[in-house]
């Protein structure tokens, strides 16, 4: 049985979700802007009726759609047209971003905010822009509630100076207003001084701004209640992102059951500084779900609209993979140790057990390597696709090469020179413990020059020797007077075994102004 939409727009409030494409075809969808007289109400009801008719026949459905679009076009003077191609037949593990580039070009201009009137449940609008906004969306759980613990962890793990640069925005996204009122009272009682200081806001997007959550597509064979839950969650996050657009320079998404590492903001700033001048869409500080994902605030309108457009297609963390790829960040950029840990034991979906833990999490985040952007070169014979970049990546992959000879090298050339405090290189793996570098040296270089094989340094200084396949050198900035432009691993003796470079971790020194 199909139900009519509960969407109830007013003259002052309009939300603009994109209706689903019909039959997988490319559909022209006209989306009105502010339109008095209940135009959006009529549109949502028409779309809901189409869901019912889809099961009976195709031709009447197409006729109704075309008629609806024609009528809407007559009444719209300032509408706009969006080409939509539905995200069908996709998997979260191997997103085919190229398939959607054409339609996403339209979305790249979709930088305006969603027209939603928010309720301030606690706190007032900010008077100045902060460095970082931390966003949390929370709903009533059947078992357990961790929101207060999460907020407490954010504030407790930050220094007084760090607190000046952050604002926490909590979106209470449950339609149970009694529960929301109770939770607001608890938040106000425990964190009153943070609310007064402008470090904590609690907001709500009213239910009438939500699209219909009935009769949604049953992708991935999910049960109907699961589809409803994850679709609403996408809209919850879209409204949260939309609200946070102009509050700060950067935005961090957390879930409402998370524990933070100590001084996580300082670690974040260090990573952001080290990547100045390089392109990135998403930096990840946890490998779990929608936890610890960092964005430029300027990208929030597009991300909010993207989640809203495809709210019924797939879970939010899968949509993030597509969003990142469509904005031309091909690879994951993740940092270890993780700065945030999942602590909830019961899921917000039906109270199911959820024991997920990030085994890369460490309580003290100040020791996080930031691996500044660089190009990597090696003359060691690479095995299959275990290329050099994987040794410098933070994902769980590595470089694997065939037996090296004396004089072979593995070199990192930074995009810009850096002050380095520590370098750590680990070779071999748990299941291939013999594939280590048995004899090697660690060098740093300066005076970058161009050669036929690319850029490299003209002079190097040895700072460490490999022992049992590892090398770690601390206080590099105190031992080396110049800014480092290259780091090189040199093989100093032939070996019969293959070589795995599992990880290269580099810690830079923040400028004095930081």
pTM (predicted TM-score): 0.66
Contact 250, 37 (CB under 8 A): no
* Token reading at 85: 């191609």
Q: Provide the β-strand partners of residue 456.
A: 449
CA-based nearest residue to 248, from 224, 279, 269, 263: 269
Please return the burial class of 59, using the count of CB atoms within 10 Å of its CB with bins 0-12, 13-18 and 19+: exposed
Q: In what order do the strands lie in the sheet with 420-427?
A: 399-401, 499-508, 420-427, 470-474
CA–CA distance, 383 with 400 (Å, rounded to integer) = 6
CA–CA distance, 98 with 95 (Å, rounded to integer) = 9
CA–CA distance, 313 with 86 (Å, rounded to integer) = 8
CA–CA distance, 136 with 200 (Å, rounded to integer) = 11
| pLDDT tens by residue, the chain, 514 residues | 443 333 333 333 333 443 333 333 333 333 334 444 444 444 445 545 544 444 444 445 444 544 454 444 433 333 322 322 222 233 333 333 343 444 444 454 566 778 889 999 999 999 899 999 999 999 987 766 789 999 999 999 999 999 999 999 999 999 999 999 999 999 999 999 999 999 999 999 999 999 888 777 777 677 777 888 888 999 999 999 999 999 999 999 999 889 999 999 998 998 898 888 889 999 999 888 789 999 999 999 999 999 988 888 888 888 888 899 889 898 888 888 889 987 755 444 444 455 666 666 667 766 778 888 899 999 999 998 888 988 887 667 899 999 999 999 999 999 989 899 999 999 998 888 899 999 999 999 998 887 776 788 989 999 999 999 999 999 999 999 899 999 999 999 999 999 999 999 999 886 544 4
Tally of CB atoms within 10 A around 311: 26
CA–CA distance, 243 with 114 (Å, rounded to integer) = 9
Contact 376, 486 (CB under 8 A): no
Could you tell me how far CA 297 lies from the centroid of its own chain? 12
């Amino acid at each position: 049985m199909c139900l009519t939409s509960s969407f109830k727009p007013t003259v002052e409030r309009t939300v603009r979700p994109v209706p689903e494409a019909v039959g997988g075809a490319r559909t022209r969808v006209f989306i009105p802007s502010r339109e008095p007289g209940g135009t959006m109400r009529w549109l949502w009801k028409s779309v809901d009726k189409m869901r019912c008719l889809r099961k009976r026949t195709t031709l009447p459905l197409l006729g109704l759609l075309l008629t609806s679009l024609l009528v809407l076009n007559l009444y719209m003077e300032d509408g706009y047209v969006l080409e939509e191609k539905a995200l069908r037949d996709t998997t979260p593990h191997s997103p085919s971003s190229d398939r959607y580039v054409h339609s996403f070009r339209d979305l790249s201009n979709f930088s305006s905010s969603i027209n939603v009137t928010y309720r301030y449940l606690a706190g007032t609008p900010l008077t100045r822009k902060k460095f970082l906004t931390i966003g949390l969306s929370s709903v009533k759980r059947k078992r357990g509630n961790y929101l207060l613990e999460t907020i407490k962890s954010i504030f407790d793990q930050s220094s007084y100076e760090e607190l000046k640069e952050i604002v926490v925005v909590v979106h209470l996204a449950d339609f149970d207003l009694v529960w929301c009122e109770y939770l607001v009272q608890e938040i106000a009682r425990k964190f009153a001084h943070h609310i007064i200081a402008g470090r904590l806001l609690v907001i709500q997007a009213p239910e009438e701004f939500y699209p219909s959550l009935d009769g949604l597509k049953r992708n991935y064979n999910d049960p109907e209640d699961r589809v409803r839950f994850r679709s609403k969650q996408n809209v919850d996050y879209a409204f949260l992102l939309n609200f946070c657009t102009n509050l700060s320079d950067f935005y961090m998404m957390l879930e409402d059951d998370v524990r933070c590492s100590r001084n996580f903001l300082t670690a974040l700033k260090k990573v952001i500084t080290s990547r100045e001048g390089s392109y990135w869409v998403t930096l990840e500080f946890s490998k779990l779900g929608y936890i610890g994902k960092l964005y430029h605030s300027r990208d929030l309108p597009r991300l909010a609209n993207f989640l809203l457009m495809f709210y019924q297609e797939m879970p939010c963390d899968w949509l993030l993979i597509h969003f990142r790829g469509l904005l031309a960040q091909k690879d994951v950029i993740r940092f270890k140790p993780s700065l945030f840990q999942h602590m909830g034991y019961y899921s917000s979906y039906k109270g199911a057990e959820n024991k997920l833990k990030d085994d890369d999490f460490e309580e003290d985040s100040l020791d996080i390597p930031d691996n500044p952007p660089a190009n990597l070169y090696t003359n060691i014979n690479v095995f299959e696709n275990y290329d050099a970049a994987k040794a410098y990546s933070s994902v769980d992959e590595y470089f694997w090469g065939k037996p090296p000879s004396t004089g072979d090298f593995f070199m990192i050339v930074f995009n810009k020179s850096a002050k380095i405090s520590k370098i750590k290189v680990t070779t071999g793996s748990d299941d291939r413990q013999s594939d280590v570098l048995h004899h090697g040296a660690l060098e740093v270089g300066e005076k970058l020059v161009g050669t036929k094989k690319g850029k490299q340094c003209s002079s190097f200084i040895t700072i460490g020797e490999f022992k049992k396949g590892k090398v770690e050198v601390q206080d590099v900035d105190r031992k080396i007077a110049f800014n480092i432009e290259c780091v090189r691993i040199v093989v100093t003796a032939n070996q019969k075994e293959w070589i795995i470079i599992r990880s290269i971790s580099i810690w830079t020194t923040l400028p004095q102004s930081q």
